[in-house]
Protein backbone atom coordinates (compact mmCIF):
# COMPACT_ATOMS: atom_id res chain seq x y z
CA UNK A 1 0.00 0.00 0.00
CA UNK A 2 1.37 3.44 -0.92
CA UNK A 3 1.36 6.18 1.70
CA UNK A 4 -1.84 8.24 1.52
CA UNK A 5 -1.13 11.88 2.36
CA UNK A 6 -4.84 12.45 3.01
CA UNK A 7 -4.83 10.36 6.21
CA UNK A 8 -5.78 12.26 9.37
CA UNK A 9 -2.25 12.33 10.79
CA UNK A 10 -0.83 13.77 7.56
CA UNK A 11 -3.57 16.42 7.73
CA UNK A 12 -2.63 17.20 11.36
CA UNK A 13 1.04 17.57 10.38
CA UNK A 14 0.10 19.99 7.56
CA UNK A 15 -2.18 21.98 9.86
CA UNK A 16 -5.27 20.95 7.88
CA UNK A 17 -6.84 19.21 10.90
CA UNK A 18 -6.78 20.25 14.56
CA UNK A 19 -4.87 18.44 17.29
CA UNK A 20 -4.34 18.86 21.02
CA UNK A 21 -0.56 19.00 20.87
CA UNK A 22 1.56 17.83 23.76
CA UNK A 23 5.10 17.90 22.37
CA UNK A 24 6.84 18.58 19.07
CA UNK A 25 10.40 18.51 17.79
CA UNK A 26 12.04 18.33 14.36
CA UNK A 27 11.22 14.63 13.93
CA UNK A 28 8.00 13.90 15.76
CA UNK A 29 4.71 15.16 17.16
CA UNK A 30 2.76 14.01 20.23
CA UNK A 31 -0.92 14.82 20.66
CA UNK A 32 -4.05 13.58 22.42
CA UNK A 33 -6.06 10.76 20.86
CA UNK A 34 -9.56 12.15 20.17
CA UNK A 35 -11.04 8.69 20.69
CA UNK A 36 -9.15 7.75 23.85
CA UNK A 37 -9.14 4.31 25.47
CA UNK A 38 -8.36 5.90 28.84
CA UNK A 39 -7.75 9.43 30.13
CA UNK A 40 -4.33 10.57 29.00
CA UNK A 41 -4.24 8.42 25.83
CA UNK A 42 -1.56 10.14 23.77
CA UNK A 43 -0.22 9.45 20.27
CA UNK A 44 3.31 9.99 18.95
CA UNK A 45 3.96 10.11 15.21
CA UNK A 46 7.03 10.74 13.06
CA UNK A 47 6.77 13.85 10.92
CA UNK A 48 7.84 12.10 7.73
CA UNK A 49 5.34 10.14 5.61
CA UNK A 50 5.71 6.62 6.96
CA UNK A 51 2.91 4.08 6.76
CA UNK A 52 4.16 1.59 9.33
CA UNK A 53 7.15 0.31 11.29
CA UNK A 54 8.48 -1.65 8.32
CA UNK A 55 8.72 1.52 6.18
CA UNK A 56 10.34 3.72 8.83
CA UNK A 57 13.70 5.37 8.31
CA UNK A 58 15.79 3.98 11.21
CA UNK A 59 17.21 7.39 12.14
CA UNK A 60 13.80 9.06 12.27
CA UNK A 61 12.39 6.04 14.10
CA UNK A 62 15.11 6.39 16.72
CA UNK A 63 14.23 10.05 17.29
CA UNK A 64 10.52 9.18 17.39
CA UNK A 65 11.15 6.51 20.02
CA UNK A 66 13.01 9.11 22.08
CA UNK A 67 9.83 11.19 21.98
CA UNK A 68 7.74 8.16 22.96
CA UNK A 69 10.01 7.65 25.97
CA UNK A 70 9.90 11.32 27.00
CA UNK A 71 6.15 11.73 26.57
CA UNK A 72 5.39 8.39 28.25
CA UNK A 73 7.22 9.59 31.38
CA UNK A 74 5.18 12.81 31.33
CA UNK A 75 1.88 10.93 30.85
CA UNK A 76 2.79 8.63 33.75
CA UNK A 77 3.46 11.65 35.97
CA UNK A 78 0.50 13.73 34.79
CA UNK A 79 -1.99 10.93 35.40
CA UNK A 80 -0.24 9.36 38.42
CA UNK A 81 -0.32 6.07 36.56
CA UNK A 82 1.42 3.08 38.10
CA UNK A 83 2.05 1.73 34.59
CA UNK A 84 2.21 2.79 30.97
CA UNK A 85 1.29 0.69 27.94
CA UNK A 86 2.90 1.45 24.58
CA UNK A 87 1.07 0.01 21.56
CA UNK A 88 1.97 0.12 17.89
CA UNK A 89 -0.03 -1.69 15.18
CA UNK A 90 1.18 -2.56 11.66
CA UNK A 91 -1.38 -3.19 8.92
CA UNK A 92 -5.13 -3.66 8.95
CA UNK A 93 -4.91 -7.31 10.10
CA UNK A 94 -3.10 -6.06 13.24
CA UNK A 95 -5.76 -3.41 13.87
CA UNK A 96 -4.10 -0.37 12.30
CA UNK A 97 -6.78 2.08 11.14
CA UNK A 98 -4.71 5.18 10.35
CA UNK A 99 -1.93 4.28 7.95
CA UNK A 100 0.70 6.66 9.30
CA UNK A 101 3.12 5.12 11.80
CA UNK A 102 2.01 5.95 15.33
CA UNK A 103 2.56 4.88 18.90
CA UNK A 104 -0.18 4.80 21.55
CA UNK A 105 0.77 5.81 25.10
CA UNK A 106 -1.84 4.64 27.59
CA UNK A 107 -1.71 5.20 31.35
CA UNK A 108 -2.61 1.91 33.06
CA UNK A 109 -3.65 0.76 36.52
CA UNK A 110 -4.58 -2.67 37.81
CA UNK A 111 -8.02 -3.81 36.78
CA UNK A 112 -8.46 -1.52 33.78
CA UNK A 113 -9.57 -3.43 30.70
CA UNK A 114 -9.31 -1.56 27.42
CA UNK A 115 -9.91 -2.34 23.77
CA UNK A 116 -7.46 -1.18 21.10
CA UNK A 117 -9.81 1.38 19.55
CA UNK A 118 -12.56 3.49 21.11
CA UNK A 119 -15.68 4.36 19.20
CA UNK A 120 -16.59 7.68 20.77
CA UNK A 121 -14.91 11.06 20.52
CA UNK A 122 -13.82 12.62 23.79
CA UNK A 123 -14.91 16.06 24.94
CA UNK A 124 -12.41 18.49 23.37
CA UNK A 125 -12.27 20.68 26.49
CA UNK A 126 -11.23 17.63 28.48
CA UNK A 127 -8.59 16.73 25.87
CA UNK A 128 -7.10 20.22 26.09
CA UNK A 129 -7.01 19.91 29.90
CA UNK A 130 -5.23 16.56 29.58
CA UNK A 131 -2.77 17.95 27.03
CA UNK A 132 -1.97 20.82 29.41
CA UNK A 133 -1.30 18.39 32.27
CA UNK A 134 1.17 16.46 30.12
CA UNK A 135 2.86 19.65 28.84
CA UNK A 136 3.31 20.76 32.46
CA UNK A 137 4.84 17.37 33.35
CA UNK A 138 7.24 17.80 30.41
CA UNK A 139 8.39 21.05 31.98
What's 56's domain CATH number? 3.30.428.10
Cβ pair 38, 32 in contact under 8 A: no
Q: What is the mean pLDDT of residues 2-13?
A: 96
- Tell me if 1 is assigned to some domain: no
The number of domains in the chain is: 1
- Tell me if 109 is assigned to some domain: yes
Q: Return the SS3 of 103.
A: strand
- Tell me if 2 is assigned to some domain: no
- Tell me if 3 is assigned to some domain: no
pLDDT given at position 112:
63
Parent domain of 15? 8-138
User: Where does the pLDDT of residue 2 fall: very low under 50, low under 70, confident under 90, or very high at 90 and above?
Assistant: confident
- Tell me if 123 is assigned to some domain: yes
Helix (H) or strand (E) holding 127: helix 124-138
Q: What is the mean pLDDT of residues 8-13?
A: 98
Cβ pair 89, 30 in contact under 8 A: no
Which candidate in 54, 63, 100, 102 is catalytic? 102
Cβ pair 15, 24 in contact under 8 A: no
Residue 102 among the catalytic residues: yes
| pLDDT tens figures, 43-92 | 999 999 999 999 999 999 999 999 999 999 999 999 999 999 999 999 99
| pLDDT tens figures, 101-137 | 999 999 998 766 666 666 678 889 989 999 999 999 9
- Tell me if 44 is assigned to some domain: yes
Helix (H) or strand (E) holding 13: helix 8-14
Model's pTM, two decimal places?
Answer: 0.89
- Tell me if 49 is assigned to some domain: yes
Amino acid sequence: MAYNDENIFAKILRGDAPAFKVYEDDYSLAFMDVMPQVEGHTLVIPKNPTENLHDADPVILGHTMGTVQKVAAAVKQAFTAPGIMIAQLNGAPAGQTVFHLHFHILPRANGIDIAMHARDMADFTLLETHAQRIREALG
